[in-house]
Amino acid sequence: MIFIKSILLSLMVFFYASASAQEQMAFSSELNKTRYQSLVEELRCPKCQNQNLADSGSGIAVDLRELVHQMIEDGKTDQEVVDYMVARYGSFVLYRPQHSTATFLLWYGPFILLGIGGLAFVAVIMANRKRRGRDS
């Protein structure tokens, strides 16, 4: 029981610390705050497996949130922020990678495999029908 209480207490401290860290950022306009929230939810943490910058508590995510805040306040566009992150950390930081020859298999690979599987299924069915026709 004590173990569960200590885990819950640790989680509460963690969430309070991460929430208060984001509340300390001051924005010059409500639009900048909205842009910031959108970007940190859209960009993936380079250290974490599958967390965006907003959800991650890693040190690099904290630094990148501050960098995104600074770039927005400096007048950079959303695309400039994203381009900087991709140039620095690669396409991994994008939850929705851009369509390119490098990401062709990522976008279309599942459909190609599904088509190949469907063709193999039809070929096996046809071969079984021919074999049954000869055996009769």
Express each pLDDT in 56-73 by its tens digit: 888 989 999 999 999 999
Pairwise CA distance, residues 59 & 53, whole Å: 10
Pairwise CA distance, residues 132 & 136, whole Å: 6
Angle, in degrees to the nearest 10, between helices 30-42 and 78-89: 30
Pairwise CA distance, residues 133 & 136, whole Å: 6
Higher pLDDT, 108 or 19: 108
Q: What percent of the chain has pLDDT over 90?
A: 40
pLDDT-based confidence at residue 14 (cuts at 50, 70, 90): low
Q: Which two tokens stand for residue 27?
A: 């924005």
For 44, phi then psi, to 5°, come to: -90, 145
Higher pLDDT, 11 or 68: 68
Verify that 105 and 92 share a domain, yes or no: no
What's the DSSP call for residue 91? G
Verify that 55 and 27 share a domain, yes or no: yes
Verify that 114 and 86 share a domain, yes or no: no
Verify that 11 and 75 share a domain, yes or no: yes
Domain count, the chain: 2
User: 122: part of which helix (H) or strand (E)?
Assistant: helix 104-135
Cα dihedral 117, 123, 129, 131 in deg (nearest 10): -120
Mean pLDDT of 17-25: 57
Verify that 73 and 61 share a domain, yes or no: yes
Verify that 93 and 109 share a domain, yes or no: no
Verify that 75 and 130 share a domain, yes or no: no
Mean pLDDT of 25-54: 88
CATH code of the domain covering residue 53? 1.10.8.640
Residue 107: give the domain boundaries.
99-136
Mean pLDDT of 22-39: 85
Residues β-bridged to residue 52: 44
Higher pLDDT, 48 or 115: 115
Angle, alpha carbons 95-101-105 (nearest 5°): 65
